[in-house]
Amino acid sequence: MIRLLNDNDYDVFMDYVKREKELNLFIIGDAENYGFNNEFQKLWGEFNQKGELIGVLLKYFENFIFYSRDEFDVKGFYDIMKSEDFKMLSGEKSIVEKFEKLHNFSNKRDTYFCKLDEGSKLEENELLAKVKKVELKDINRIIELTKLIKEFSESISEESIRRKFEDNTGRGYFIEQDGKMVSIVQTTAENSTSAMIVGVCTHPDYRKRGYATACMTKLCKTLLNEGKSLCLFYDNPKAGKIYKRLGFKDIGIWTMYSR
């Protein structure tokens, strides 16, 4: 049986998703930060005949994330997404691929999913002194920089960037040069145990100077000192080499479908 989750399901839900906490970082973070049901977020769960939770579907605006480690009602969850007018479905590759038999998705993108839980490879260097923490007054500068980056320009959501800094579900570190923001790294979906790194970018005119690495190092050191692990996605081999050098390890493939 699939139904909407509510506050009474909190402990059962968290026990289920925290068994693979890195994989479920978005689901955990959004549930902790926004609750089960509000104007932009809903959570559904499937329960077996014993009353055990066997699958979870998160709706965040028009984006859906699915997780299960059991046999689940693929059509039942698909019908929910269809009725909610989904635009994107994401999840661990082997899990969400099961929806392909029910829908002809317009686009599929596989990315490497990796995590960092210790900082032995995070080296000190003189650039760290230039790294600043993002404040609310910097949000428009973030948006301006992000729009210069080809990979991000079409997918940028000004609302989501603004929201995470206003409600403290994300943070960012940047380097300023010649009076402008030239490199930045951000987090999103921060929760009690982990955070997702997103929006790593450098102004095209200021690349290959170590700025992104310095911002990453500062961010990772700060969060690790708070007892949090870090996760990120990448599909760019050059970026992957930088992340591996900082100590990140691949843990799976994260797949994103556009409707």
What is the mean pLDDT of the segment spanning 233-248? Answer: 90
∠221-226-231 over CA atoms, to 5°?
65
What is the mean pLDDT of the segment spanning 24-46? Answer: 92
pLDDT tens-digit series, residues 89-114: 999 999 999 999 999 999 999 999 99
- Given a cut of 80, whether residue 156 has pLDDT beyond it is no
The better pLDDT of the pair 37, 216 is held by 216
What is the mean pLDDT of the segment spanning 125-143? Answer: 94
- Across the chain, what does the average pLDDT equal? 93
Residue extents of the structural domains in the chain: 2-104, 115-258
- pLDDT above 70 as % of the chain: 97
- Given a cut of 80, whether residue 151 has pLDDT beyond it is no
- Given a cut of 80, whether residue 154 has pLDDT beyond it is no
pLDDT band at 168 (very low <50, low <70, confident <90, very high): confident
- Is domain 115-258 in CATH 3.40.630.30, yes or no? yes
pLDDT tens-digit series, residues 70-91: 999 999 999 999 999 899 999 9
Task: Say what the pLDDT of residue 147 is.
Answer: 86
What is the mean pLDDT of the segment spanning 198-203? Answer: 92
